[in-house]
Amino acid sequence: MPDSGKSDPSNPGPPPGEEEKITLEDALLELYRLRAMCDVSRAVAGTLDLDRLLNLIVAKTTDIMNADRSSLFLIDWDTEELWSKVAQGVRFMEIRFPMHLGLAGAVATTGETLNIPDAYEDERFNREFDKRTGYRTRSVLAVPMNNKAGERIGIMQVLNKKGDEEFTQEDEEILKSLAGQAAITVENSQLYEEQKKSFISFVETLATAMDARDPITAGHSKRVTDYSVAIAEELEYSEKQLEILNAAALMHDIGKIGVPEVVLFKDGKLDDEEYKIIQSHARHTLNILDKIHFDREKKEIPMMAASHHERIDGEGYPLGLSGEEIPEAGRILAIGDIFDAITSRRHYRDRMEFIRVMRVIDEESSSHIQLDFVEAFKHLPVSRIIMIMEQDNVEPVESEDLELFKKFTLNDLQELLERGDREESLTQDEQHLVDRFNFYYHRSISEGWVPD
Ligand code: FE
């Protein structure tokens, strides 16, 4: 037996009356364990990224348990397998094996805690892993992970307690508590992921339904969304804010469902009455989205989506809000909406000359749309704009051109176009950029189709 200094028979323990004394070393160790457990609790409460969290829990568990390594396996009841993406010492990858295998399998199947001083003495132990890696497993402590409903969802195990010691009763209690935290983590994050997925698919379904009804503006919702998200990124929106803006943008024209087709698809000029009916789509967007339950952080979505036709000067619709009364997302959407409307192709005409597009945007700044957001928009690289603009084209933008477009902002491009318009000379590089841009801008949507 290795000399740990604590089991020396000539030293039978502390003299009577001093049993309660603990050494400084013990106290520090205890404090360390406590802090590590607090770290785990804080991480569990603070984030929902499952892979990262489980990795953190496993790493902290090794520390807290004073063990050599730890692992966490989740049970896949459909395939009756144990799987993991977090196994220390063997990198970050997915491991799967039948759930009846090994000591981990025994815990997964029976739900009992196993505390074994030497794994090689236990016939349930599977030596395969040790054989392949050259590792020597000795002490093993493995506990089940149960969810709130009491169902077994995984197991946690720690291997080889440091100093060749065995895992104690206290270790068992601590590992059970850590396994409880891990189970909460898994359950929360799975619920969150499910919720997020169903929200996104719901929003996308609405947008698709809308586009299916109106093939003329098909793709409009998606492009407006992409322009708006690009502007918001320029304004340094957080991931969460971008997600909310993205949803509001995809649904901004949902109210067109409430506009009769005879008006929506009318060829030729609309009379005042028809124009009012078209405009009513913004109010329909508000009314429709107001009926949907959004959680607290998303509850502004209906107002964001419905305010894309409001104007900074208060002359917009449906509510006639002005300036900062308009939700910020609505003010961003307005830019994407106008830009897409005037750069879209129609079957009866080519796109508006890009120099005119940018002049329209400038003319609308401060009265209709917010100047500093327009500036953020113009700060975007031409590559970003062209990719959004051409997202439905079967022929991709060549990578060489894309590299060129990355070097110039929309603002740069506008300046070059204005200089060209004043017949000032451009350098060869500048002229090349303008030519390549115009090539993509004016090519037909079906360019690249080879008719047979
Ligand atoms: Fe609209």
Q: How far is the CA of 265 from the centre of ligand 1 (A)?
A: 14
Whole-number Å distance, alpha carbon 372 to ligand 1 midpoint, is 22
pLDDT in tens, the chain (452 residues): 444 444 444 555 555 555 556 777 777 777 777 777 777 767 666 655 677 788 888 888 998 899 999 999 999 999 999 998 754 454 567 888 999 999 999 999 999 999 999 999 999 999 988 998 899 999 999 999 999 899 999 999 999 999 888 999 999 999 999 999 889 888 888 888 888 889 989 898 888 888 788 776 678 899 999 999 999 999 999 988 999 999 999 999 999 989 998 898 888 888 999 999 999 999 999 999 999 999 999 999 999 999 999 999 999 999 999 999 999 999 999 999 999 999 987 766 678 999 999 999 999 999 999 999 999 999 999 999 999 999 988 889 999 999 999 999 999 999 999 999 999 999 999 999 999 999 999 987 654 333 32
Ligand 1 centroid to Cα of residue 305, in Å, is 9
Residue 211 alpha carbon to ligand 1 centre in Å: 13
Claim to verify: residue 135 and residue 198 sit in the same structural domain: no
| Domain termination site, one of 152, 170, 188 | 188
The answer to whether residues 259 and 248 touch, using CB atoms and an 8 Å cutoff, is no
Q: Please check whether residues 178 and 208 belong to one and the same domain.
A: no
Contact 211, 218 (CB under 8 A): yes
Give me the pLDDT at residue 95, please: 82
**Do both 174 and 203 map to the same domain?**
no
Q: Which of 157, 188, 219 is the last residue of a domain?
A: 188
On whether residue 180 sits in a domain, the answer given is yes
Q: Confirm whether 12 is domain-assigned.
A: no
C-alpha span between 245 and 257 (Å, rounded): 21
| Distance of CA 96 from the midpoint of ligand 1 (Å) | 50
Q: Does 176 share its domain with 251?
A: no
CA distance 65 to 285: 56
CB 116 within 8 A of CB 122: yes
**Does residue 1 fall inside a structural domain?**
no
CA distance linking residue 282 with residue 285, whole number of Å: 5
DSSP characters over 282-343: HHHHHHHHHTS---GGGTTHHHHHHTTT--TTS--SSS---GGGS-HHHHHHHHHHHHHHHH
Report which of 196, 316, 209 is spatially closest to residue 253, judged by C-alpha positions: 209
Centre of ligand 1 to C-alpha 387, Å, is 22
* 212 and 64 share one domain: no
Same domain, 155 and 203: no
CA distance 220 to 306: 16
Ligand 1 centroid to residue 368 C-alpha, Å: 14
70 and 124 both lie in a single domain: yes
Query: What residues make up the domain containing 368?
Result: 191-447
Cα-to-centroid distance, 289 and ligand 1 (Å): 14
User: For residue 140, what is the domain's CATH number?
Assistant: 3.30.450.40
54, part of any domain:
yes
- Ligand 1 centroid to Cα of residue 309, in Å, is 6
Distance 87 CA to ligand 1 centre (A): 51
Mark whether 276 and 311 lie in a shared domain: yes
Residue ending a domain, among 136, 165, 188, is 188
Say what the pLDDT of residue 89 is: 52
- Shared domain check, 138 and 74: yes
Residue 251 CA to ligand 1 center (angstroms) comes to 10
User: How many domains, the chain?
Assistant: 2
Tell me, yes or no, whether 172 and 206 share the same domain: no
Tokens of 416: 């070059």
- In the reported structure, the alpha carbon of residue 255 is separated from the centroid of ligand 1 by a whole-number distance in angstroms of 8
- C-alpha 120, offset from chain centre: 44
The CA 431 to ligand 1 mean position distance, Å, reads 36
Rounded distance from Cα 275 to ligand 1 centre (Å): 12
Looking at the structure, tell me whether residues 255 and 398 fall in a common domain: yes
Q: How many angstroms separate the alpha carbon of residue 252 from the centre of ligand 1?
A: 6
242 found inside a domain:
yes
The CATH number that applies at residue 385 is 1.10.3210.10
The 8 Å CB, 24+ separation contacts for 32-37 are 32/63, 33/64, 33/174, 36/60, 36/63, 36/64, 37/64, 37/174, 37/177, 37/178
Residue 9 lies in a domain: no
Q: How far apart are CA 374 and CA 334, in angstroms?
A: 10
Does residue 395 form part of some domain?
A: yes
Residues recorded for the chain: 452
- Tell me if 254 sits within 8 A of 288, measured CB to CB: yes
Residue 11 in any domain: the answer is no
One domain, residues 302 and 165:
no
**CA 60 to ligand 1 centroid distance, Å:** 52
